[in-house]
Chain A
Amino acid sequence: MANPSQLQAHKIGAPLMNQIKLKGVPILQQLHLEECLLRTSSHNWCIINQGTNHPTIVMGVSGKPAELLKIESVLCDQIPVVRRFTGGGTVVLDPSTIFVTFICNKDAVAGLQPYPQPILSWTGALYNKVFQGIGDFHLRENDYVFGDRKFGGNAQSITKNRWIHHTSFLWDYEVRNMAYLKLPARAPEYRLARGHLEFICRMKDYMSRSEFISRTIEAIKTHFSLRSAEAESIETSASFAGIQVKPDNKEFYSIGERLNIY
């Protein structure tokens, strides 16, 4: 199984990370893939998905629709609502959202404690490199902001030996989609009393999509040795969407086999 680039990586000492680049894959499929890789793989992964195919609302693991969404509008416009396996709040995703996900073994990053705050700091520092000198970027509470406006939301899940940290970046968004969300009961302090549209901003006002992705990959390479996984087999795997996610089901391995991405 070892190939020359793998040997090279091990010589240098940087841990290996598999990279998956997707485009327009439905967010539900992406979440299935992420959970599968988190729970059954022993490798490190980075997934970048440029947009989901259809506007979709995604809630955190304990999200309650009645509290977070304007249900009548959602039902009327038939917007799909998904509950993800990580914590955090509610987002409306569409084809102009960019997703970046890290799935790592707990010892993948030397000295990084597998707890929410340290992981948030580490990923925050990584994106600091990406947005160096651009638009006053920082990690504010749990969000990525330019100034005091949020453009990236984060969520995590930490298991016994691994962790996942995924971000949805608002490269662009449609105002009418944001209207499906209620003001959440729990909001970050820096939001103050701002309505949603005064609280968020678009990444496209600061950086092009391709530049963001290439900078992100460069930043990851400072920590990991990146290896590209077979993207085509993931996108075209028709059976993938129909697979139920169960925590201890051997089907996870069959997904991996079909997708050829170990």
Chain B
Amino acid sequence: MMIGRRILILQKRSFSSVRRILCPYTSQTPNPNPSPAQASASFRSAGSHSSILHFNAPYIAVNRSFFSSHAVADLPVGGIVDVPLAQTGEGIAECELLKWFVQEGDQIEEFQPICEVQSDKATIEITSRYKGKVAQILYVPGDIVKVGETLLKIVVEEAQVSTHVSENPTPTQEGLKNIKPCDSELTKNDICEVLSTPAVRNLAKQHGVDLNDVKGTGKDGRILKEDVLQYAFQKGSIKDPSASLTSASRRQFLGGEEDNPHPSGEVLWSYEDKTVPLRGFQRKMVKSMSMAAKVPHFHYVDEINCDALVELKSSFQSTNSDPDVKHTFLPTLIKSLSMALSKYPLMNSCFNDELLEVILKGSHNIGIAMATSSGLVVPNIKNVQSLSILEITKELSRLQQLALDNKLNPADICGGTITLSNIGAIGGKFGSPLLNLPEVSIIAIGRIQKVPQFTVDGNIYPASIMTVNIGADHRVLDGATVARFCGEWKQFIEKPELLMLHMK
């Protein structure tokens, strides 16, 4: 359905533009290579730079296309044409876009190469079927594009022969298969010069309304849904706008006089299934969690008394004179984690399963799992062993802000050696976290809850208790190591003065 497709594109745009700002989460460490190697057709790196320039313009342009004054069925009769990804041969369902050879505003010739894509083993140049001007580019390098999806839009010159109609099914109501309306109907409503959205055109078609006869009450004389319904009602096409679809509506769609109305496309559309292609962080999560699931995990659970931590945080807050700094529990937890890691370096390592080697990492780059609007991301604070709690607080705040704005860069996301997942910030007692490979341990901390505890002589007192769940790679770590490590960390949290003992 055209409406669905257009909106889907809008959603895709936001994902892909988000991903591009992050300067692919996918391209991690820079190529350690000297320049001659880069010369060997690393066009992608050039491509990805130019793509960042693109994303702003298309994002706005997508909105404009909703109000196009052009043909719904993408007939190039002097208007904007959707150019799909084709020319890949059979058996290929999707490709990765590698680079653009054109940009918005460029004049292009028929058969001119417009972009390069990759499918499996092959890079393929895609050429333009039309002569015209590039109106809008819908994907950026690195995006996965399904064969048949629109790659870009071109403003074509008058009277170009169209081979396009068969590829773009005409818009349909849900419940109907792809029906081509008879030519006269298509021509009448599609080549008219009125301003309206595809959804409204659709609606007009269903009610056999000629948009040229409808008075638009929207901006610039735009015809709105209400205008069409109003006109149809007055004309007598609609008796009861809320009646359901019948098979007779098929004829109605073809423009015949019909007494059986059916509701507008938009009302029905909202109950349809919605396909959400996974992009960016979500796509990355599919891959990383699938790999993590192959690792034998075990989970160690413990409770930590956070009374001292709560007091410490209040103390930090009360003596805090910097309005930009907000003290929370995490920085202290992070610093004490680093202290414990110094004693148990195996917890801060990476496992090479082919060589059967464990690399004990020198730096404590502690990753903090964050939930952003684009999905789960784990930026890390580098070299915690050398940072003070205040420095950790500031760095954490910086990363959190970047994550919220979706502006984290690859350096922030790579190089982590252990991960902390503060699921307690949202709620819950504790989680059962999956490893963030190639790390060997991950710690999920639950919410600090005030619960009753017993003293030795049976008296009840309140205590702030936090439950932690440490997920560990059982190929590398055993229960004893993790238990001892957790005990060490717990000590630093329950008795923060011990941090001073080890202060350098």
Which residues does A use to contact B, with CB under 8 Å? Answer: 28, 31-32, 35, 60-62, 64-67, 70-75, 80-89, 113, 115-120, 142, 154-160, 179, 182-183, 185, 195-196, 241, 244-245, 247
Task: Determine if B29 and A113 form an interchain contact, defined as CB atoms under 8 angstroms apart.
Answer: no
**Is B315 an interface position by the 8 A CB rule?**
no
Q: Which of B41, B291, B359 is packed against the most chain A CB atoms within 10 Å?
A: B41
Question: Cβ of A28 and Cβ of B27 under 8 Å apart?
Answer: no
Q: Which residues of A contact B92 (CB under 8 A)?
A: 115-117
Do B39 and A245 have beta carbons less than 8 Å apart? Answer: yes
Query: Is the pair B38, A83 in contact by a Cβ cutoff of 8 Å?
Result: yes
Closest to A89 in B: B121
- The answer to whether B98 and A62 touch across the interface, beta carbons within 8 angstroms, is yes
The minimal Cβ–Cβ distance linking A249 to chain B, given in whole angstroms, is 12
Considering only CB atoms, which chain A residue lies closest to B24 in the complex?
A64
Whole-angstrom distance between the alpha carbons of A238 and B186 in the complex? 65
Closest chain B residue to A163, Cβ basis: B122
Partner of B88, one of A66, A82, A115: A115
B125-A158 in contact (CB<8A): yes
**Residues A160 and B89 in contact, CB atoms below 8 Å apart:** no
Please measure, in the bound complex, the distance between the C-alpha atom of A72 and the C-alpha atom of B357, giving whole angstroms.
12
Chain B, residues 114-139, CB within 8 Å of chain A (1/0): the string is 00001111111101000000000000
Residues of A within 8 A of B169 (CB): none
Is B90 in contact with chain A by the CB < 8 A criterion? yes
CA distance A208 to B127 in the complex (A): 43
B32 with A160: CB separation less than 8 A? no
User: Is B43 an interface residue, CB under 8 A from the partner?
Assistant: yes
Residues on B facing A (Cβ under 8 Å) = 26-29, 31-33, 36-44, 87-92, 96, 98, 111, 113, 118-125, 127, 287, 291, 352, 354-355, 359, 414
B121 and A35 within 8 A (CB):
no
Tell me if A86 and B122 are in contact (CB < 8 A): yes
Other-chain contact of B113, A35, A160, A195 (Cβ < 8 Å): A160
> Do A87 and B41 have beta carbons less than 8 Å apart?
no
A28-B121 in contact given A70-B352, A115-B89, A179-B355 (Cβ < 8 Å):
no
Rounded to whole angstroms, the CA-CA distance of A72 and B125 in the bound complex is 35
B124 CB contacts on chain A under 8 angstroms: 115-116, 157-158
Count of A-B residue pairs with CB < 8 Å = 132
Q: In the complex, A75 Cα to B291 Cα: how many Å?
A: 25
Known: A113-B89, A160-B127. A61 touches B120 (CB 8 A): no
Q: Are B414 and A159 in contact (CB under 8 A)?
A: no
Residue on A nearest B42 in the bound complex, by CB: A83
Docked-complex contact B33 and A81, CB < 8 angstroms: yes
Instruction: Report if A84-B120 is in contact (Cβ < 8 Å); known contacts: A72-B359, A195-B354.
Output: no
- For the complex, what is the distance from the CA of A70 to the CA of B352, rounded to whole Å? 9
Q: Are B43 and A116 in contact (CB under 8 A)?
A: no
Known: A71-B29, A87-B120, A116-B92. Is A62-B44 also a contact (CB below 8 A)? Answer: yes
A–B Cβ pairs within 8 angstroms, 21 of them = A60-B118, A61-B43, A61-B118, A62-B96, A62-B98, A65-B32, A66-B414, A75-B32, A81-B37, A83-B31, A87-B120, A87-B123, A88-B122, A116-B88, A157-B123, A159-B125, A160-B111, A160-B127, A179-B354, A182-B354, A185-B287
Which of these, A64, A115, A247, contacts B27 with CB under 8 Å?
A64
Question: How far apart sit A88 and B29, CA to CA, in the bound complex (Å)?
Answer: 20
Complexed CA–CA distance, A32 and B41 (Å): 8
A155 and B41 alpha carbons, distance in the complex (Å)? 14
Q: Is the CB–CB distance between B28 and A67 below 8 Å?
A: yes
Alpha-carbon separation in the docked complex, A55 to B32 (Å)? 17
Known: A62-B118, A67-B28, A80-B33. Contact between A158 and B123, CB under 8 A? yes
Please report the C-alpha to C-alpha distance between residue A160 and residue B101 in the assembled complex, in whole angstroms: 13
Please give, as numbers and ranges, the residues of chain A lying within 8 Å of B88 by CB-CB distance.
Answer: 115-116
A118: chain B residues within 8 A (beta carbon): 89
A31-B33 contact given A66-B414, A88-B121, A116-B89, CB 8 Å threshold: no
Chain B residues near A81 (CB, 8 Å)? 31-33, 37
Nearest Cβ on chain B to A143's Cβ, whole angstroms: 9
Does the CB pair A245–B122 fall under 8 Å? no
Find chain B residues with CB under 8 A from A84 CB.
40-41
Give the residues in chain B near A185, CB-CB below 8 Å. Answer: 287, 291
| Smallest beta-carbon distance A237→chain B, Å | 16
Q: Give the docked Cα–Cα distance between A101 and B98 (Å).
A: 23
Q: Kindly provide the distance from the CB of B117 to the nearest chain A CB, expressed in whole angstroms.
A: 9
Chain B nearest CB: distance from A256 CB in Å? 18
Question: Bound complex: CA of A245 vs CA of B31, how far in Å?
Answer: 18
* Alpha-carbon distance A142/B31, docked complex (angstroms): 27
Question: Is A87 a contact of B31 with CB atoms below 8 Å?
Answer: no
Min CB distance B350 to A, Å, is: 9
**Smallest CB-CB A-B distances: 6 pairs:** A115-B89, A85-B41, A66-B28, A156-B122, A116-B122, A88-B121
A66-B38 Cα distance, complex, nearest whole Å: 16
Q: In the docked arrangement, what's the CA distance between A183 and B291, Å? A: 11
Q: Report how far A35 CA is from B96 CA in the complex, Å.
A: 20
**Known interface pairs A142-B121, A156-B122; 15 further A-B residue pairs with C-beta atoms within 8 A, sorted by A's residue number:** A35-B41, A66-B28, A82-B37, A83-B40, A83-B41, A84-B40, A85-B41, A87-B121, A115-B88, A116-B92, A117-B89, A118-B89, A160-B111, A196-B354, A247-B43
A74 to B29, CA, bound (A): 13
Report A102 CB to chain B, min CB distance, Å. Answer: 13
Given contacts A118-B89, A160-B125, contact A142 B40 (CB under 8 A): no
B123 and A82 contact, CB distance less than 8 A: no
**In the docked arrangement, what's the CA distance between A32 and B87, Å?**
26
Q: Given the complex of chains A and B, what is the CA–CA distance between A196 and B355 in angstroms?
A: 12
| A179 to B353 alpha-carbon distance, docked (Å) | 11
CB distance from B172 to the nearest CB of A (A): 31
Q: Are B32 and A32 touching (Cβ within 8 A)?
A: no
Partner of A65, one of B29, B98, B121: B29
The residue in chain A whose Cβ has the minimal distance to the Cβ of B95 is A87
Whose C-beta in chain A lies nearest to the C-beta of B36?
A28
